Every structure is written in C-alpha cells, then in structure tokens.
Copies of this chain bind each other. A is one copy, B any other.
Amino acid sequence: IVTHGLADPGRADRRVRINVSGMKFDTRERVLLRYPQTLLGDTVRRQRYYVPEEEEYFFDRHRPSFEGIFRYYQTGKIKRPSNVPLDVFAAELAYFDMGNLVIDTFLTEEGYDVSKDTLPEKEPQRTVWLLFESQESILSKLVGLVTVCFILLSVGTSCTETLPHFRNLTDQSFAHTGDVKTNLNIAFHNTFFQIETACIAWFCIELALRFYASPLKTRFVKDIMNILDFVVIVPYFVSLFLIMANVDVTGSNIIPGTIVRLLRLVRVFRIFKLSRHMRSLQMLGATLRASAPQLIMLVFFMAILVILYASIIYFMEMDHPDHFFPSIPEAFWWAIITLTTVGYGDIYPQTPLGKAFACICVISGILVIAMPLPIVTKNFEKFYKKNGNNPFKNLPLDNHRGS
C-alpha cells in the first residue's frame, strides 16, 4: 500500500507508475513533487486516479500529449510534442492542472500574446474605453468605421490634391500673401482645407477621449501607435500657425518649402492609423518586428554587395565611350536595381565584361534576397495562425475539476 503525504522523508525515492491510456511512465515520487500545485504533484488530488491492483495511477487521456507534460516534471521545460495539435495539448495541460504560469509560458513559445488589457475601473472612463478601444459592441464598431472613413478620406485628399487638375486649389492654401484675416478666409473656403479640418477635428476628439479613458497614462503616452496618432495631427496646426504668422512658403525659400513638403507627407502616414482597426496590418507589424534581425541582415548583405558590385562595374565599364557609370555612388543605383531584378533599363552595362559580370550580380542578388525569406515567411505564418482562436477558450468540457 502506498501512503500519500510529505510526512515520510524516505518515500521521495519511491517509484511511481503513471498509466496514460495504456502508455506507462515510470518516475520517482521526488520528480512529481517538484510541482505540488499540479494534479500529479499533489498527492491528495492524484489519489483519486490510483488503481491499487495495478499499483499505478490511471488516466484515460491523450497519450502522445502526456509525453510533453511528463517532460515538464523531468526538465522544467514545457514543449508540445511536434505530432500533437495545439488545441489537444492545451486541453491536456488544463486537465493536469499545470497552472497559468506554465500555460502562459507555453502559449508565448507557440507565438500567442498572453498579455492582458487593463480595463479602467471607474465610469465614465470605462464606457469611453469600451467605445474606442474594444471592438465588441455595435456602437464601438460604428465608431471604428467612422474613424476608418476619416482616415481614408484624409489620405485620399492628400493624394488627390497633388493632381495637376487641383494644383491651383492646393497652392492656394499655402499662399499667404495678404493679412491674417484674408489668409484664414481663403483657407477656410478651400474645399481641401475644409475636409482636412473635419478629419483633424475627429482625430483630435478621438485621441483626447482615448487619453482621458486610458487607465495607464504613461503607458498610453509611450505607445508607438498613440505617438503616431499625435504626430499626424501636428501638420494641421503647423499650417494654421504658418497662416497666422503669414509665412510665405510657395516661393523659393528652401527651408520653409521643405517644411511644407514634410507636413504634407506626414499626412499620408495617417494610413498607419488603420492598423488599430485591421488585424492583418497588426500581423504584418508583428512579423516585421519578429523578423527585424533577418531584415537588418538582408539590408546589410545588400549594402555590401551594392558597394562591391558598383565598384567592379564602374571600373569595368570605364572604357566604353557612352557608359552609364560616371562614378561608383551612381553605380550603386544600377547594383540595387539589378540585384533586385527590377531592371528599369535606364542604366545597364554595355561592355562584354560588364555584361558577364551583371549575370553574377543578378544571381547573387536573388540568392541573398531568397536566403532570409523563409525565416520571414515562417514568422508570418506563425502570427497568421495565432490570430485563430486561443486554444484555452474552447476547451472540452470534461475538465476533471468540474466533475
């Protein structure tokens, strides 16, 4: 007869047999007692599964999964056996009551995001937060849709106003020739400026309310998406300031001209605001973050190849009377466009030697780009699958703790 309890100091070395649907696992008591909160580590709870005739603990559970759970007791590391599906293993982890820490570690390793959102506790912050940050109620979905529409409208306007047809209208809002009052008058009668004002109004309201509702203000301020939300509003107020200050930015003054251009460009970045509303953009972002080392490596490899190949082609093509390579830095362009197989055809080698070399250039370009690609695509697949259901949400109901 086996006794259960920590009283007996010598029993830690006793052999324990666990029979999982016919697959038998032998270990010592000591190993199981490493995790006393789990079903197997708790001598009292596991007693229920003891079969005295066979002197073993019998579990009518998934056998291959238990290999991974058993390994946790032996090594302290949780890993799903490669031939067991995620949801099956998740169910077994829950059955054997491995604890939230183990499950979170496991989920993180499988690529799941286990961080939880913090909901504000007080009203009316809670209502506002649910309206803007969650996508669960119909009203919050509507708010999201309105924001998406304003984003698209804003970006669309930024692109459209550069069309030759609208050039006059666009220049108008930046030509500050009269006094402040006239300028403002012209600006607010300009259709583009009106649309812009409407968009900015909505973006400001949304950002302000979300900041108001945010339970952790410092975390809110540090969040890259919120910084973006703020940055893309700024250009409007700078424009307004330029109008007020009566600064002429249409002329040949280089510095204000560059500033205006930057202001107009920043408005296009509003398209990234979509990522708050589109899961697929979040996946892309997560993939790029996870693949950052590979991407940096790719850019680094390409930089080396570009410098090398540009130098070689420069010296090779030097003798051709109409060569396209006046200097090595200008040959960089050829190297980039050839390595990536774009091949605009604006510059290309013309000497036999240069042509032969271009072949090496293209093939090595394809190789160097192809090398890190599988790592990046695997990352994407991982994040893509992760967007499926959390395996711990749909657990089968035969959890033993409920019976």
Interface of A with B (CB < 8 Å)?
Answer: 15, 17-19, 21-28, 31, 51, 58, 60-64, 67, 70-71, 74-77, 79, 81-83, 85, 88, 91, 155, 158-160, 162-164, 261-262, 264-265, 268-269, 271, 274, 278, 280-281, 284, 287, 295, 297-302, 304, 307-308, 310-312, 314-315, 318, 326-329, 332-333, 336-338, 340-346, 348, 352, 355, 358-359, 362-363, 366-378, 380-381, 384, 396
Contact = CB atoms under 8 A, between A and B. Distances in A.
A301 to B, nearest CB: 6
A75 B91 contact: yes
Contacts of A88: 71, 75, 77, 79
Contacts of A274: 304
A31 B284 CA distance: 44
Given A162-B327, A336-B355, A376-B370, A62 B81 contact: no
Contact of A318 (B160, B261, B372): B261
A336 B310 contact: no
Per assembly, the copies of the chain total: 4
A364 to B, nearest CB: 9
A150 to B, nearest CB: 16
A100 B120 CA distance: 52
B377 A370 contact: yes
Contact of A340 (B31, B299, B363): B363
Given A158-B328, A338-B342, A269 B308 contact: yes
